[in-house]
Structure 1
Amino acid sequence: MHLSTRLPRSRGFTLIELMIVCAVVGILAAVAYPSYTRYVQRGHRAAAQAHLVDLAQRQQQFMADSRSYADTVAALNMTTPAEVARHYEIEIETGDGPPPEFTITASPVEGGAMAGDDALTIDNTGAKTGPW
């Protein structure tokens, strides 16, 4: 009788299998990362939009009390949330009129996550411009 000796098969992954897994992970990351980035930007923009609406409402209350609009966020007894301040600069422009008017602008911070995005604005009539 002839006895054949078989070498035990080593267990593990081959180089080809590892390369295929790396390629699949790379493709998934290339597709998922831009979507994730857009999702995060929409979240930052939504926070800025909510803050602008709050400021506009506070401006109307300020107008009812003092017959003029405030020209700073601090004058409205408000602070810009850290999440918004990290990505946007808030500016209030007022006009004495008649009638008095204001425009609140949230401009993306240079070099930040929202760089390249358009500025958001809201005015005393409630008109909004930018990517609302």
Structure 2
Amino acid sequence: MMKSKLVYGFTLLEMLIVVAIAGILASVAYPQYTEYVIRAARSDAMVLLLDAANKQEQYYADNRTYTEDLTLLNVPVTSENGYFTISVNVPNTGTSFTITATAAAGAVAGDTACTTLTITDIGVKGSTGTSSADDCWER
């Protein structure tokens, strides 16, 4: 009578199956994750733009002109995560403005879909890049 020997461990075929399954899951999950990170960064920029536009209107109510100085509005020049830089353009008349958030670093640095996000004094939301403004401003 022959004794059977107990073998512990994995075969090479079992390891290859596990690696293949992990690779398939990673190839599906990673692009979704990076898209989520980019959308979250854009969301931070949108919040900052809307806050800056609101503070511009408050400044206009007090001074009858808009300002390009973000420090007067108490608005930071970069988004909270540092991915976007904020700038303001006020024409010579001081009766209108355009606030722009430009992708600068991190996950959005190479984003060609929504390179910049803008908002004007009348609330028009815009963007530059390969996507439409509606897609870029969607949360």
Kept in 2: contact 1:102–1:123 (CA 8 A):
yes
Counterpart-to-counterpart distance in 2, 1:38 and 1:129? 20
> Which residue is equivalent to 2:100?
105
1:108 is aligned with what amino acid?
Answer: A
- Structure 1 runs of 4+ off > 6 angstroms? none
Kept in 2: contact 1:68–1:96 (CA 8 A):
no
Counterpart-to-counterpart distance in 1, 2:92 and 2:63? 13
1:88 matched to 2:84? The reply is yes
Counterpart-to-counterpart distance in 1, 2:62 and 2:86? 23
Other structure's SS at 1:95 match? coil
> Which residue is equivalent to 1:76?
73
Other structure's SS at 2:90 match? strand
Kept in 2: contact 1:92–1:105 (CA 8 A):
yes
Other structure's SS at 1:107 match? strand
Kept in 2: contact 1:44–1:87 (CA 8 A):
yes
Kept in 1: contact 2:102–2:117 (CA 8 A):
yes
2:21 is aligned with what amino acid?
Answer: V
1:125 paired residue among 108, 122, 133? 122
Question: 1:67, CA displacement in angstroms?
Answer: 1.3
Counterpart-to-counterpart distance in 2, 1:82 and 1:118? 18
Counterpart-to-counterpart distance in 1, 2:79 and 2:101? 13
1:15 is aligned with what amino acid?
Answer: L
Question: 1:88, CA displacement in angstroms?
Answer: 0.7
Kept in 1: contact 2:68–2:90 (CA 8 A):
yes
1:90 is aligned with what amino acid?
Answer: I
Q: Aligned runs of 1:11-26 on 2, under 5 Å?
A: 11-26=8-23
The aligned length equals 125
Q: Once the two structures are aligned, what percentage of the paired residues are identical? A: 39
Kept in 2: contact 1:87–1:108 (CA 8 A):
yes
Counterpart-to-counterpart distance in 1, 2:71 and 2:116? 21
